[in-house]
Chain A
Amino acid sequence: MNAAQPAEAFAIPLDSLELGKRAHIESIDWAALEETAARRLRQFGFDEGVTIEALHLGPFGRDPLAVRVGRMTVAIRRAHARAVHVVPIAK
């Protein structure tokens, strides 16, 4: 966690990140995820400090989410995205 974070940057769950917006991953609530889901997220490169961008939403029920993490685009469900807390990067 970065102490020099500007005061207006609050952490929000990843599924509330606006499409097209970039953010830093602040924390991941690993305990809230099933073991396989947690492992897969780690393998996709989800980690604190990594840059993430919300790209697309599924057409039905706005689920799943397509996000860019590092250089990779991955699809995850909203339920899992909620465990990822991000701080949007101000433009």
Chain B
Amino acid sequence: MNPQPLIAVVGNPNAGKSALFNALTGARQKVGNYPGVTVERHVGRAILPSGAPAELIDLPGSYGLDPNSPDEAVTRDVLLGRQQGERLPDALLIVLDASNLDNHLRFALQLIALGRPTVVALNMVDLAKRDGLELDAAKLEAELGVPVIETVAVRRRGITELLGRLESELGHQRAVHGKDLPPPDLVHLQKRAREVAQAAILRETPVRRITHQLDAVLLHPVAGPIILAAVLFIMFQAVFAWATVPADALDAGITSLGNIVGNALPPGVFKSLIVDGVFAGVGAVIVFLPQILILFLFILVLEATGYLVRAAFLMDKLMHSAGLSGRAFIPLLSSFACAVPGIMATRTIDDPKDRLTTILVAPLMTCSARLPVYTLIIAAFIPNRAVGPGIGLQGLVMFLLYIGGIAGALLAAWALRRSVVKGRGGAFMMELPKYQMPRLVDIALGLYQRALIFLKRAGTIILGTTIVLWALASFPQAGPGQKQSEVSIAGYIGSAIHKVVAPIGFNQDISLALLPTMAAREVAVSAIGTVYALDASDDKQLTSLEDRLASRWSLATALAYLVWFIFAPQCISTIAVTRRETNSWKWTGFMVGYLFVLAYIGAGLTYWTAVAFGLG
């Protein structure tokens, strides 16, 4: 039994619900999943004025109790007590955008009709004032029949009062309607919502809205796309340039720690496991934390300001011609960070065929797990020189790899829409919310959660596969004059794979790393790191991984390997989430299959072309 009251935070998208949730719970929150569906479950704990804790649940934003998408269905099911793995909330906290009352009140009226103990947060009253709206919370309270508190979540205004009212409402049971709803009469509800809004609005002065002025530039038919391209270019340059200093520092820290630990341990198998397995393997992945955080920083900030939705607006027509919807832009952009949240974000796409196509091409977006591989290969093979003011050749190659992924995704979507996912596209309908200054705490919290997920992966999947690979690569031990990477068990597996991938220029090292890389792409770096560390155990001088690669791979092989990674679906988490989201092994198998075929052909073409130009 859980004695803590459960309070559901619910409201329209863009009502500032998550900011309010963050203000109420602080860092005391957890991100999980509802059983059976991949809708994220955000729960946190708030301390009520009496000192008693309450559990808060942040429900996906919704326009009503008649769901249009899987995440809206979760909101409805939780509110009606039908959601598996969730108890019926003891109270509702309805979040309203003060400057969008006529629309948000319709859903609020539906929610109040459920008869649960309810408090309304009239949120973003500051922005409403900025828009020239003067509101009367007391009038609104009288019209709605439930307490209304004015809040500005991003400035923590009204939070204490809100918690106080929630606590006193928790005791007051209102008439509970049970699990069944009267069929929603939207026309009537909308009419009532407008009446209530009219009553609550005291004065409305027309002002030049900041959002309107910004949109005049950012959605301009010429300036808009140029600005979007510039934003994306800066984002990818920053990922490469800004991360260098912290990544080098991390690298130096891990290396010296590895040396200290290595010197303290007696020589033998255990030392090899720690130094060659754990430090060389996991360490090689951890150093990419700064890049991943910079990428997420950009995405979180762009999302919080409201710009991401504008990007979807600008891109809709192009996406539409490839058979996708502008709505797919946000899941696909998130897939640049990681395909797993990206594929999960497709649940906001209403049309099932649009959604399936988006899922099938999402793994083509250059996720942050490819960064370690790209960075390593680029650093080893592409000279670090400028090709223009502020544009480095290495950054340019990185940019081209991103473009390759995007072009591949659009072409794949186009082809899929004409073959296996036939049918006309769905709708593109989206709210363009007001622009807002993102709040530092909300961004920091988002980054912290992403960093935690990454480090957890490094500590579990990557550590696990690294140790298994170390074992396979360490035994049997090489005799004098033999190479460890050739005589070990892993060497034999690698040789078998090598037969398949030799035509596209992959050598023994790469073949060996391909199998463990199925766990996660960044494992490629740790796997190669481990193999080389074992081979080099006799020579005392530890050279960098880049130098070793440069001396053992041809440029043609390196380029083919880069192109392989644009396509290859080497990520067990992506495959698992695809299975869960499509609920079909057939589509999951199809995705893995077509991506491997593309990877093989792409890498092959690259290798053969490069060899023809004498780079082999």
Measured CB to CB, the residues of A under 8 A from B are 34, 36-37, 39-45, 47, 55-61, 63-64, 66, 70-77, 80
If the complex has contacts A37-B427, A73-B431, A77-B316, are A42 and B190 also in contact, measured as CB distance less than 8 A?
Answer: yes
> What are 29 inter-chain pairs, A to B, with CB distance below 8 A?
A34-B427, A36-B426, A36-B427, A39-B68, A40-B63, A40-B427, A43-B68, A44-B431, A45-B102, A45-B190, A56-B219, A58-B313, A59-B224, A59-B225, A63-B317, A64-B326, A66-B215, A66-B219, A70-B100, A70-B102, A71-B100, A72-B103, A73-B215, A74-B429, A75-B309, A76-B427, A77-B428, A80-B427, A80-B429
B182 at the interface (CB under 8 A from A): no
A34-B426, A36-B351 known; A63+B316 contact, CB < 8 A:
yes
Residues of A within 8 A of B113 (CB): none
In whole angstroms, how far apart are the Cα atoms of A30 and B224 in the complex? 32
Count B interface residues, CB 8 Å: 41
| Beta-carbon contact of A58 and B429 below 8 Å | no
Question: Is there contact, CB below 8 Å, between B318 and A74?
Answer: no
Instruction: Using known A-B contacts A56-B215, A63-B317, determine if residue A71 contacts B99 with beta carbons closer than 8 Å.
Output: yes
Residues of A near B222 (CB, < 8 A) are: 59
> With A and B bound together, what is the CA distance between A55 and B220 in angstroms?
11
Q: Which of B190-229 contact A (CB under 8 A)?
A: 190, 211-212, 215, 219-222, 224-225
Interchain nearest-CB distance for A59 vs B (Å): 4
Across chains A and B, which 9 residue pairs bring their CB atoms closest together, nearest first?
A43-B63, A60-B317, A37-B427, A59-B221, A73-B432, A56-B219, A40-B429, A75-B430, A75-B313
Considering the complex, give the chain A residue whose CB is closest to the CB of B225: A59
A44:B350 contact, CB within 8 angstroms: no
Contact B430 A74 (CB under 8 A): yes
Residue contact A39 to B431, C-beta cutoff 8 Å: no
CB atoms of B429 and A66 under 8 A apart: no
B100: which A residues are within 8 A, CB to CB? 70-72
Expressed in whole angstroms, the minimum distance between the Cβ of B378 and any Cβ of chain A is 32
CA distance A61 to B429 in the complex (A): 17
A64 to B326, CA, bound (A): 9
Residues of B within 8 A of A77 (CB): 316, 320, 427-429
Given contacts A44-B63, A66-B219, A77-B428, 4 further A-B contacts (CB under 8 A): A40-B350, A63-B316, A70-B102, A73-B431
**Alpha-carbon separation in the docked complex, A37 to B167 (Å):** 40
Contact partners of B431 in chain A: CB under 8 A: 44, 72-75
Instruction: Verify B314–A59 contact, CB threshold 8 A.
Output: yes
* Complex contact B66–A39 (CB within 8 A): yes
